[in-house]
């Protein structure tokens, strides 16, 4: 069900670690949906020098976190903020429809981490888009 | 992926159709292909094959052959039992008792009836997933027409006190259905000692083919059809009979019944080895009942990690397993069974179900015991929920 | 019995599962046996096999793959179409239009709905078993929610003007279902030109296995499930998928579609030879439409004699045939189809249906033409109804 | 579905002919059920010297007629009257449940033929038992 890129990022996650002295930390997700994502940022001169993640969740959640951290490294905060869940999903060569919310989570986690940094710096947080756990849906059993 | 191993530990989801069963089915596709309802002699083989299969199913369940009705699987059997009774007895009462841990084939059927004005009581279970017979008796009302309690749970393997529940149902003259889909071939099933009026089975759970099952309907019980049409199955279940499938069901249940007690002993040994080994992983717990459980079922929670990730990593190591249930890939729901057992949401997302089969060997178990700890550790290292002391980095 | 011959002329009852179809199915019993809902790689083959079969069915019907839902056969498809629409749209209206000559899978389903307060209009047919589109239009009421007219009749083979009826249904915004079980592999079926919203098929009628079928459901149509449970089939039809059966359906429909036009030409020639030969028997008449009929269907009345007796004597001569329909041996009913065509009771008991198949040869037809007159004469000599001049003693 | 004896009597019906100068003729059955049975009797000194039948109907109807005529030949009218449908069905080594009414028809046809003879002789007809077409039932189709 997953693309090769998803499986690659799941099996060999990039940036999967804690950054102990992170400048911004964002945590999103909800245990009902079964996904929690935490993103750590190291920021210098408005540029993301390092990014990492910890994730409790399915394959798509892990891969989305991994891909998202890759995508924001070296970007300015503004550029990173603009990275959409679609961009993450596309970079992963697609996600199953019911897993698209994982890429949304990644976008939200980036936003949360950036805002956490801004708040620490005494700045106004930027305005958050719509988040959702809309992918949650029923289960077929054996 | 390093697919040196291929270890199938998801026999609760489905089993390999046994080659002997396939051989038994084969002549009924292209050779004895007559419509069993037809008069001429070339249809005789189909007819007698069906009746032979019916005898085998009846024998395995301690039923009379006239009480066995073939269906397209466990789902149809469950739907038919519940909807057929609701429709035939709905004038007498509109209250149905079931449990919080039934299969969705039962739960979603009663939910549909709820929309049509039936009232449903969902009995709770204890931490082991066990229903108490007392709670059944307490839930009975004057307008209760049906009690449906599964014989064994598909996720955690807990075996319910169905015989006692059946006695209660009988003493109150209430119809009693049990979903025995997971029990056949694992534990003895006898419709008389169980006091059931209706019992569902599905062939692919015990070495038979997918797409065929049966419903036991006690002699004399009034039930409406679910499928209307031709006069097959004593006019109770219409549709040209799935002759090869029915033959396969018969062959599989005969086989499963013959090898059951020996197999169960073997399964229990392997199960113990597997459970003992897995529980050496810190912060792990067995779900379901420690003793009153299907001989082939292992269901374990590893704190801080999520089910699908475990499965993907096990799969990469050649191990086929499931979380709680064989969800469609569409599923993000936590297990309703584990929630009913009192587990919090994140744990209800994180269980690993390993269900052994007749092909499972000790070497398989040992291999699994080598792989799982690594997988769990890797995911714990990744998880934001894992406490420091359980991390390797 | 002198069983030198074995001539199967009951292809409307069921067909031999073609050996190529069986070969296609075989790997999905014991090799690729995974539950298609499972995540791990060994279940991938089952999943892709189902989707491949879905594509084949969609291609054969001119549908989109997301509009094809697998069922346990024509009966389930018919039941689901009708009950699913009645349940989902019952608040809007409770009137259903169908015809007097539908298969019992339709008729007995609407009869069950009648008991639940639905009103059913049973359209009459002319002497050829043909429904007039005008009668459909006249029957439409403000509360009509469903029209169900079969594409081709299973007893007399009459092909209905379904395209016109579909246009009428569409112009009145009424949902239109057609039972195409007998039509697949015989005549072109295209859901778009037919203007149908729902269409039933059954694999064993065109060289596929028994116990599997499909329902076409037009994109966007609201319909309730018939079987509740797991999330299979876009959450519309629960139950572990009958993977080998579904693969067989796909293989069979692809095969049937590829050979259809060539086969139909051959069938029509054989049919003509058979009809012309049989009608030389005095007091015999063709039932059904002379031209608008399935290429493989022959249905003839021989006055003064009864159907079962004909079948038994033909069987003794190695010919498998049926009266009107493949009744269960329990049946003593006259054909509701022939009665609807205006035949008196004793004739509605006495028709002979011969339905040709891809294996039927000219030599078979000639053999049958040698046997039938003798059998008819023998029974006429026995019958109290036969007039003097037709008796040999 | 039929016993060998039924098939034998169906394939080689005994006494299947008309008796042109019959002393008693009985016809029973109904076209809705799809069975009509006519029995001819030749009677001499209260004894059935010859019996024959014509039948429109299924295999069981033909076999029942055939067997019934065999059973009554040489019997007195009283003995013939006492031959029950059960006796006919048993002599045939059983009939499928839904076909039992065919043996009932045979019993009725014998009674009708005897009474027809009695009436012709100016005698009171004997009292008929319960006849039925109860076997009629629905149909399963392909
Ligand atoms: C307990 C239980 N009931 C019912 C079913 C439904 O059976 P099937 O999928 O064969 O329709 C299953 C498995 O799928 C099951 O485990
Ligand atoms: C016209 C028609 N509809 C429906 C059915 C039912 O199909 P099945 O017996 O495969 O359920 C049949 C044949 O049995 C049929 O001929």
Tokens standing for residue C201? 């098929």
Cα separation, C105 vs C289, whole angstroms: 23
**Is C359 an 8 Å CB contact of chain B?**
no
Q: Do chains D and A touch (3 or more CB pairs under 8 A)?
A: no
C320 & C226 share domain: no
C327 is catalytic: yes
C91 & C213 share domain: yes
| DSSP H or E stretch at residue B177 | strand B175-179
Residue C324 reports pLDDT greater than 70: no
B201 & B277 share domain: no
Cα separation, C217 vs C239, whole angstroms: 18
Residue C151 lies in a domain: yes
| DSSP H or E stretch at residue D28 | strand D24-30
C35 & C176 share domain: yes
B266 & B378 share domain: yes
Q: What is the DSSP letter of B185?
A: T
Number of separate domains in chain B: 2
Neighbours of D119 (CB within 10 A): 12
- With an 8 Å Cβ cutoff, are C309 and D137 in contact? no
Residue B194 lies in a domain: yes
Number of separate domains in chain A: 1
Say whether C203 counts as a known binding-site residue. Answer: yes
Residue C239 reports pLDDT greater than 50: yes
Q: Whose CA is nearest to atom 12 of ligand 1?
A: A142
Q: How confident is the model at residue C334 (pLDDT cuts 50, 70, 90)?
A: confident
Q: Is the dihedral of CA C315, C320, C323, C325 positive or negative?
A: positive
Mutate to test the pocket of ligand 1, among B154, B178, B242, B252 (most ligand atoms within 8 A of CB): B154
Q: Whose CA is nearest to atom 14 of ligand 2?
A: D142
pLDDT score of B1: 39
Q: Do chains C and A touch (3 or more CB pairs under 8 A)?
A: yes
Q: Where residue C81 sits, what CATH number does that domain have?
A: 3.40.640.10
| DSSP H or E stretch at residue A105 | helix A100-120
Residue D125 lies in a domain: no
User: Domain range spanning residue A101?
Assistant: 4-120
Which atom in ligand 2 lies closest to the alpha carbon of residue D141? 14
Could you tell me which of A122, C50, C227 has the C-alpha nearest to residue B329?
C50
Could you tell me which of B1, B4, B7, B29 has the C-alpha nearest to residue B372?
B7
Residue D129 lies in a domain: no
Residue B164 lies in a domain: yes
| Ligand 2 neighbourhood includes C151 CB (under 6 angstroms) | no
B89 & B238 share domain: yes
Positions in chain D short of pLDDT 70: 129-142
Cα separation, A30 vs C311, whole angstroms: 69
| Ligand 2 neighbourhood includes C74 CB (under 6 angstroms) | yes
Give phi and psi for D84, each to the nearest 5.
-90, 165
Give chain C's radius of gyration (CA, Å).
Answer: 22
pLDDT score of B41: 85
Residue C247 lies in a domain: yes
**Is C28 an 8 Å CB contact of chain D?**
no
- With an 8 Å Cβ cutoff, are D139 and C344 in contact? no
pLDDT digits (tens, 9 = 90+) for C260-273: 999 999 999 999 99
Residue A134 lies in a domain: no
Question: Whole-prediction pTM value?
Answer: 0.94
Residue D132 lies in a domain: no
Tokens standing for residue B305? 């990690």
- With an 8 Å Cβ cutoff, are B306 and A35 in contact? yes
Residue D139 lies in a domain: no
Q: Where residue B278 sits, what CATH number does that domain have?
A: 3.90.1150.10
pLDDT digits (tens, 9 = 90+) for C145-183: 999 999 999 999 999 999 999 999 999 999 999 999 999
Residue A142 lies in a domain: no
Neighbours of B37 (CB within 10 A): 27
**B297-302 and B119-123: which strand pairing?**
unpaired
Say whether C182 counts as a known binding-site residue. Answer: yes
CA–centroid distance, residue B241 to ligand 1 (Å): 20
B250 & B265 share domain: no
Q: How confident is the model at residue C367 (pLDDT cuts 50, 70, 90)?
A: very high
- Number of helices and strands in chain D (H, E): 5, 3
Mutate to test the pocket of ligand 1, among B81, B103, B160, B215 (most ligand atoms within 8 A of CB): B103
Identify all chain D residues contacting B230, using CB atoms and an 8 Å cutoff: 139-142
pLDDT digits (tens, 9 = 90+) for C89-109: 999 999 999 999 999 999 999
Contact status, residue D7 vs residue D59, Cβ threshold 8 Å? yes
Q: Where are the beta strands (DSSP E) in A1-142?
A: 24-30, 35-44, 47-56
Q: Is ipTM strictly over 0.85? A: yes
Q: Where residue D30 sits, what CATH number does that domain have?
A: 3.90.1010.10
pLDDT score of D129: 58
Residue B90 lies in a domain: yes
Residue D126 lies in a domain: no
Could you tell me which of B90, B210, B194, B95 has the C-alpha nearest to residue B142?
B95
Contact status, residue D66 vs residue D95, Cβ threshold 8 Å? no
C216 & C292 share domain: no
C44 & C119 share domain: yes
Residue D111 lies in a domain: yes
The last residue of one of the domains, among B227, B255, B283, is B255
Average pLDDT over residues C325-343: 70
**Is B384 an 8 Å CB contact of chain A?**
yes
- With an 8 Å Cβ cutoff, are A141 and C230 in contact? yes
Contact status, residue B206 vs residue B187, Cβ threshold 8 Å? no
- With an 8 Å Cβ cutoff, are C306 and D34 in contact? yes
- Of A33, A58, A136, A139, the active-site residue reads A33
pLDDT digits (tens, 9 = 90+) for A66-122: 999 999 999 999 999 999 999 999 999 999 988 898 999 999 999 999 999 999 999
Residue B2 lies in a domain: no
pLDDT mean across residues, chain C: 95
> Exposure of B67 by Cβ count < 10 A (0-12 exposed, 13-18 middle, 19+ buried)?
buried
Which amino acids bring their CB within 6 angstroms of ligand 1? Answer: A 142; B 73-75, 78, 103, 105, 150, 154, 179, 181-182, 202, 204, 213; C 239-240
Q: pLDDT (tens digit, 0 to 9) for every residue of chain B, 393 residues total?
A: 344 679 999 999 999 999 999 999 999 999 999 999 888 888 999 999 999 999 999 999 999 999 999 999 999 999 999 999 999 999 999 999 999 999 999 999 999 999 999 999 999 999 999 999 999 999 999 999 999 999 999 999 999 999 999 999 999 999 999 999 999 999 999 999 999 999 999 999 999 999 999 999 999 999 999 999 998 999 999 999 999 999 999 999 999 999 999 999 999 999 999 999 999 999 999 999 999 999 999 999 999 999 899 999 999 999 999 986 443 334 457 889 999 999 988 788 889 999 999 999 999 999 999 999 999 999 999 999 999 999 997
**D35-44 and D24-30: which strand pairing?**
antiparallel
Q: Give chain D's contact residues with B (Cβ, < 8 Å).
A: 1, 138-142
B60 & B128 share domain: yes
Say whether C335 counts as a known binding-site residue. Answer: no
Q: What is the DSSP letter of D12?
A: S
Residues C281-294: b if buried by 16+ CB within 10 A, e if exposed: beebebbbbeebbb
B272 & B197 share domain: no
Residue in chain B closest to C29 (alpha carbons) equals B17
pLDDT score of C4: 60
C278 & C249 share domain: no
Say whether C74 counts as a known binding-site residue. Answer: yes
Q: Is the dihedral of CA C127, C129, C133, C138 positive or negative?
A: positive
User: Domain range spanning residue B357?
Assistant: 7-15+260-390
Residues C330-353: b if buried by 16+ CB within 10 A, e if exposed: bbbbbbbbbbbbebebbbbbbbbb
């Amino acid at each position: 069900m997953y693309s090769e890129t998803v499986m690659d990022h799941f099996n060999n996650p990039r940036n999967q670690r804690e950054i102990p002295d992170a400048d911004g930390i964002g945590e999103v997700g909800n245990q009902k949906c079964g996904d929690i994502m935490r993103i750590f940022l190291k920021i210098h001169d408005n540029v993301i020098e390092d990014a990492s993640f910890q994730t409790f969740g399915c394959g798509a959640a892990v891969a989305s976190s991994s891909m998202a951290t890759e995508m924001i490294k070296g970007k300015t905060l503004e550029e990173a903020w603009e990275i959409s869940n679609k961009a993450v999903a596309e970079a992963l060569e697609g996600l199953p429809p019911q897993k698209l919310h994982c890429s949304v989570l990644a976008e939200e986690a980036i936003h949360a981490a950036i805002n956490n940094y801004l708040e620490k710096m005494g700045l106004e947080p930027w305005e958050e888009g719509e988040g959702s756990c809309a992918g949650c849906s029923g289960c077929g059993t054996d | 992926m390093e697919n040196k191993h291929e270890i199938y530990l998801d026999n609760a989801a489905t089993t390999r159709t046994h080659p002997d069963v396939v051989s038994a089915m084969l002549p009924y596709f292209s050779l004895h292909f007559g419509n069993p309802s037809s008069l001429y002699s070339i249809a005789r083989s189909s007819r007698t094959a069906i009746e032979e299969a019916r005898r085998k199913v009846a024998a395995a369940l301690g039923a009379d052959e006239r009480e066995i009705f073939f269906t397209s699987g466990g789902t149809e059997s469950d739907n038919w039992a519940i909807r057929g009774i609701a429709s035939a007895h709905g004038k007498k009462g509109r209250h149905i008792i079931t449990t919080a841990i039934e299969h969705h084939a039962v739960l979603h059927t009663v939910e549909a009836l709820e929309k049509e004005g039936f009232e449903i009581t969902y009995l709770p279970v204890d931490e082991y997933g066990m229903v108490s017979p007392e709670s059944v008796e307490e839930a009975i009302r004057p307008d209760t027409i049906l009690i449906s309690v599964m014989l064994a749970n598909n996720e955690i393997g807990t075996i319910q006190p169905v015989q006692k529940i059946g006695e209660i149902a009988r003493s109150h003259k209430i119809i009693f259905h049990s979903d025995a889909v997971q029990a056949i071939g694992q534990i003895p099933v006898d419709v008389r000692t169980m006091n059931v009026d209706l019992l569902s089975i599905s062939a692919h759970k015990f070495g038979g083919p997918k797409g065929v099952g049966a419903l036991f309907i006690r002699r004399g019980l009034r039930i409406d059809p679910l499928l209307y049409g031709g006069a097959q199955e004593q006019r109770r279940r219409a549709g040209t009979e799935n002759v090869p499938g029915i033959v396969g069901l018969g062959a599989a249940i005969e086989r499963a019944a013959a090898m059951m007690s020996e197999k169960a002993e073997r399964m229990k040994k392997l199960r113990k080895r597997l459970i003992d080994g897995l529980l050496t992983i810190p912060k792990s717990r067995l779900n379901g009942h420690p003793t009153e459980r299907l001989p082939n079922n292992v269901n374990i929670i590893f704190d801080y990690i999520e089910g699908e990730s475990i499965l993907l990593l096990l799969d990469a190591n050649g191990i086929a397993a499931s979380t709680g249930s064989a969800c469609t890939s569409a599923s993000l729901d936590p297990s309703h069974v584990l929630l009913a057992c009192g587990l919090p949401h994140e744990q209800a997302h994180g269980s690993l179900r390993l269900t052994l089969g007749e092909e499972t060997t000790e070497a398989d178990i040992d291999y699994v015991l080598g792989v799982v700890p690594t997988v769990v550790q890797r995911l714990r290292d990744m998880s934001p929920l894992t406490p420091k002391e359980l991390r390797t980095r």
